[in-house]
Amino acid sequence: MIKITLKDGSVRESESGKTILEFAKTIHQGLAKEAIIGVVDGEVKPMSYKLEKDCSLEILKFDDEKAKDTYRHTTSHIMAQAVKKLFPDVKFGIGPSIANGFYYDFDMEHRLTEEDLGKIEKEMNKIISANLPLERFEMPREEAIKYFKELDQPYKVELVEDLPEDAVISFYKQGDFTDLCAGPHLASTGAVKAIKLQSVAGAYWRGDEKRPMLQRIYGTCFPKQKLLDEYIEKLEEAKKRDHRKIGKEMDLFAIFDEGPGFPFFMPKGMIIRNELEKFWREEHAKRGYMEIKTPLILNEQLWRTSGHWDHYKDNMYFTKIDEEDYAVKPMNCPGSMLAYKRKMYSYRDFPIRMGELGQVHRHELSGALHGLMRVRTFTQDDAHIFMLPEQIKDEIVGVTNFIDDVYKIFGFKYHVELSTRPDDSMGTDEEWEMAETALKDAIESVGVPYVINEGDGAFYGPKLDFHLEDCIGRTWQCGTIQLDMQMPQRFDLTYVGSDGEKHRPVMIHRVIFGSIERFIGILTEHFAGRFPMWLAPVQVKVMPIAEKFHPYAESIVNRFKEAGLRVEYDDRNEKIGYKIRQAQLEKTPYMLVVGEKEAEAGNISVRSGKDGELGTFAVDDFIAMIKEKIETKAVL
């Protein structure tokens, strides 16, 4: 008998040689039915893995990220096998799991269509029904290279050649299909239950514009058809909320061929943007921030000093001025370093909070651009806080509470991730340990749950990332708090301490919106274009039924203007039903219909874009109601 320690600390005895699945059945049949993978002594294993010695065991269902990753990765292999069956000459790229699904890259003469996706799905279901076991085996590196050359799979050859000479290469085989893969995988293809191929896109091999363009098939999968149906329904809702579609209907922004990735904001989009920036300035002033503005272009030496030259130059734009090399800023922080260095501070001056709505430029591949969500220029709502070491915890707590206050205004839930030291980091082990501990202590002190995101910190320091959840359950990484001990050293920032000597300050980088552009995109989809009154580009539209009611309608328009409200007047010679439909498409919060009854009584008939007919109001009462919604920033 062997002893198996479960996640809750309990220990169960079992016969040696039982599979994880067989052992799961001894705990509960329901667990065995829903189990996807096991984690044995910290390593992910298929349910067919045999337990032969004392170990710790965690049995994971689909709601666990490790289980989802394994499930999706296995499905990508099933898709590759199906494509090979239909298109024998295909060359394989890579096929990882991703958030909400998986993809695989293919090189083939045939141009894939939507109709092909249906054929591939049908073939995948045959492979699933065959319940083929996934069997792992290994080869030495040179043998693996020879193997893929014989199969005429150049992309796999390249992947193997990039591995160390002494590497042992792992493969997974299912039926007549074998793929290069580190794993892990499900025990068999039959473990996959519900699949859906979603789209075909182009993707450069290894993300390099100079390399071949492959065809990438995206798909998703779930252990139950019901879960797949719910996910597809959510995607359909997301399409309706697509900020690019709504942005065009409401005439908020545009991106032209003359500037891919460089958004233009139209008058109505500028209203939303200006209101957000006004809100940003008011809230920062309340919390003791001073606003600064730093230049778009600064010389190359600055970016070498900051570390961006070594860690970020592939994402930067460059130019020459007076025969010297300059860079367009991808981040605002080096400018803030210079703003700090302009004078000498005393320990009594701290904390110093500098805020900046700073425009930055970053080179993104054309295939990655997406409306306002992924652009090449955007405005970060940056702030840099310079402080004494003993002020670190209080400042991080203050920023955390600030972020919480802002997100509540928009009705967002969120979760927090602590991103730790990446491979390309600057600084010592001691500095990173101190910084990570400080972030942990601060977030724990305010009682906000968090998870660890290993290796995803900035190159100069660890960070707390805030992931918003919108009204249909999608998450967006927006706010971040980064603790930095590197840039103060690299820029030789100092202050005069109580002992009269020079000391080094600590600094925080932080954003709340993330970027104004992306946040507007998120808000557009979250509210489906029906922005809260304080952000709505047009708050009220007045629509007379006929020309003879124009004088009264115009008087109503003027009263709304005098009250400081954003009002539009639709005096076109069109039927009222047409005007209402147009206003609905433009997501106007309130439509005021003016006819004979209203003109005689001196009131207005109000229609809500969200709730339909609201009835008759006195003009002053309705204005007061709207103003209250604006002042309280109420969500409609």
Catalytic positions: 333, 362, 380, 382, 384, 463, 509
Q: From CA 590, how far away is CA 381, in angstroms rounded?
A: 31
HEC letters along 547-585? HHHHHHHHHHHHHHHHCCCCEEECCCCCCHHHHHHHHHH
Region of 137 (left: φ > 0; alpha: ψ -120 to 50; beta: rest) is beta
Q: How far is CA 513 from CA 147, 481, 510, 521, in A?
A: 50, 12, 10, 11
Q: From CA 148, how far away is CA 171, in angstroms rounded?
A: 11
Q: Give the pair of three-digit tokens for residue 201.
A: 């896109």
- Neighbouring CB atoms inside 10 A of 146's CB total 14
Q: From CA 557, how far away is CA 541, in angstroms rounded?
A: 9
Single-letter amino acid, residue 349 = D
- Neighbouring CB atoms inside 10 A of 281's CB total 15
Chain-centre distance for alpha carbon 280: 21
Q: From CA 156, how far away is CA 304, in angstroms rounded?
A: 37
Residue entry with tokens 């390249």:
158
Closest CA to 616 of 606, 627, 626: 606
Single-letter amino acid, residue 561 = K
Largest CA distance in the chain: 94
Q: Give the pair of three-digit tokens for residue 76.
A: 């990508």
Crossing angle of the two packed helices 550-562 and 619-632, in degrees rounded to 10: 40
Any bridge partners for residue 590, and if so which? 540, 608
Provide CB contacts within 8 A for 549, sequence distance 6+. 594, 595, 596, 598, 599
Provide CB contacts within 8 A for 286, sequence distance 6+. none
Helix (H, G, I), strand (E, B) or coil at 267: helix
Given a contact cutoff of 8 angstroms between Cβ atoms, the answer to whether 423 and 447 are in contact is no
Region of 278 (left: φ > 0; alpha: ψ -120 to 50; beta: rest) is alpha
Q: From CA 57, how far away is CA 40, in angstroms rounded?
A: 5
Closest CA to 257 of 369, 400, 126, 401: 369
